[in-house]
Amino acid sequence: MSIAVIAGDGIGPEVVAAALPAIDAAANAAGVQVEWKQLPYGADHFLSTGETLPDQAFREIRDCADAVFLGALGDPRVPGNEHARDILLGLRFKLDLYVNFRPCVLLHPDLCPLKSNSQTLQRTIDFAIFRENTEGLYLGRGSVRNEGTPEEERIAEEVHTYPKVSRIIRAAFEWAEANGKNRITLADKSNVVPAHKLWQRLFDEIGDDYPGIDGEHRYVDALAMEMVREPERFEVIVTNNLLGDILSDLGAELVGGLGLAASANLHPGRAGLFEPVHGSAPDLSGKGMANPMAAILTGGLMMAELGHHSSARALDSAVREALSVGMTTPDLGGSASTSEVADWIAAHAREN
Ligand code: NAD
Ligand code: IPM
Ligand code: MN
């Protein structure tokens, strides 16, 4: 397998350097060899060369890589975030990775920040967010008038089209069916944004093809409330690009925080882009304190997607074991460093 690696900015290179040996350990234990091709793109490269993601590099990724593994992008020295837009959004759009799959699974009961409803309630949070990844507000369409004056006006266009809304909704139903889920929740704000009505129409139409799955609708504000009140009831949430971005950080926090949240950008049959949900965390950068588990679990999603299910399970189990013995970074209350946690997980992934 040949994997293109964009470590990126801030804690990106730290969690990537920690995660790759753990992923290798799980792969090698299953007889799989991974060839990592490190690419230099990120803020440093942009600031020194003016390049974000050159066309040639994009074509190589598209034509030669089995997947892309990305750390994080975002740097205070690039306040306009041009490089992240070209590299991260660029790869999502140009590779047409229309499914942003963000699972929220409680890997250890102590990680949930919510108080239980009763003494006996054992929380079992396990849902997946399907975030549309190729349109919505993320196209960045719009206009600016009278910039820098008291009459400044900025207009952002939110785009929802039949084929793109259809395919993400269908992907969510397909995954639900394949994974034995009974309920899908559609989130939008169609009471205020009429463009969101297309989602409800297509959700109902496509839902008819899946009679075993109960489709329900929530306005996103009420959904956010309900995710906190009773996260157990959700199985699959499907929503647009911006709302999915926001809900996935909320979902992450329900199960232990951004240090544990993995994600995959997918187009079935094509090379995917795998990245933790978290960003470059400039506040933690260079301190050896970043939690590498999100990157390692993201490696697990990548191995599963590439068909190496035993390696994926080994990574998942090793992370669960690390959590149960308290081998964690400070965000989870532990005192281990990024590399200590990752090395421990690598050693256990080898044995699993
Ligand atoms: P962030 O996710 O970087 O950090 C939010 C909070 O979570 C911070 O307190 C941070 O310390 C903590 N955190 C994040 N990852 C952690 C980890 N692995 N271990 C422990 N704690 C962790 O979000 P932000 O501060 O809003 O953004 C910082 C930069 O990252 C911005 O430039 C933003 O645009 C970018 N960003 C990039 C991506 C990406 O590349 N996929 C995702 C989100 C944000
Ligand atoms: C994410 C990030 C990105 C997004 C940013 C950095 C462009 O927040 O992957 O969740 O908004 O999609
Ligand atoms: Mn985000």
Q: List the pLDDT tens digit at each of the 352 positions of the chain.
A: 999 999 999 999 999 999 999 999 999 999 999 999 999 999 999 999 999 999 999 999 999 999 999 999 999 999 999 999 999 999 999 999 999 999 999 999 999 999 876 655 678 999 999 999 999 999 999 999 999 999 999 999 999 999 999 999 999 999 999 999 999 999 999 999 999 999 999 999 999 999 999 999 999 999 999 999 999 999 999 999 999 999 999 999 999 999 999 999 999 999 999 999 999 999 999 999 999 999 999 999 999 999 999 999 999 999 999 999 999 999 999 999 999 999 999 999 998 7
Residue among 266, 219, 221, 240 at smallest CA distance from 139: 240
| Contacting residues for 103 by C-beta, under 8 A, at least 6 apart | 127, 128, 129, 262, 301
Q: Which ligand is nearest to the CA of 86?
A: 2
Residue whose pair of structure tokens reads 């920690």 in the numeric block: 18
Residues within 5 Å of ion ligand 3, judged at the Cβ atom: 245
Instruction: Find the catalytic residue in 96, 110, 204, 221.
Output: 221
Other residues' Cβ atoms within 10 Å of the Cβ of residue 12: 28
Distance 167 CA to ligand 2 centre (A): 21
Alpha-carbon torsion 140, 144, 147, 153, what sign? Answer: negative
pLDDT, tens digit, for every residue of 268-314? 999 999 999 999 999 999 999 999 999 999 999 999 999 999 999 99
Helix (H, G, I), strand (E, B) or coil at 217: strand
pLDDT, tens digit, for every residue of 213-227? 999 999 999 999 999
| Contacting residues for 195 by C-beta, under 8 A, at least 6 apart | 158, 159, 160
In ligand 2, which atom is closest to the CA atom of 74? 6
280: Cβ below 6 Å to ligand 1? yes
In ligand 1, which atom is closest to the CA atom of 84? 40
Instruction: Find the catalytic residue in 189, 210, 214, 219.
Output: 189
In whole angstroms, give the CA distance from residue 23 to residue 67.
Answer: 14
Strands (E), 159-287: 183-188, 214-219, 236-239, 262-266, 272-276
Ligand 2 atom 4: residue of nearest CA: 245
Alpha-carbon torsion 88, 13, 316, 352, what sign? Answer: positive
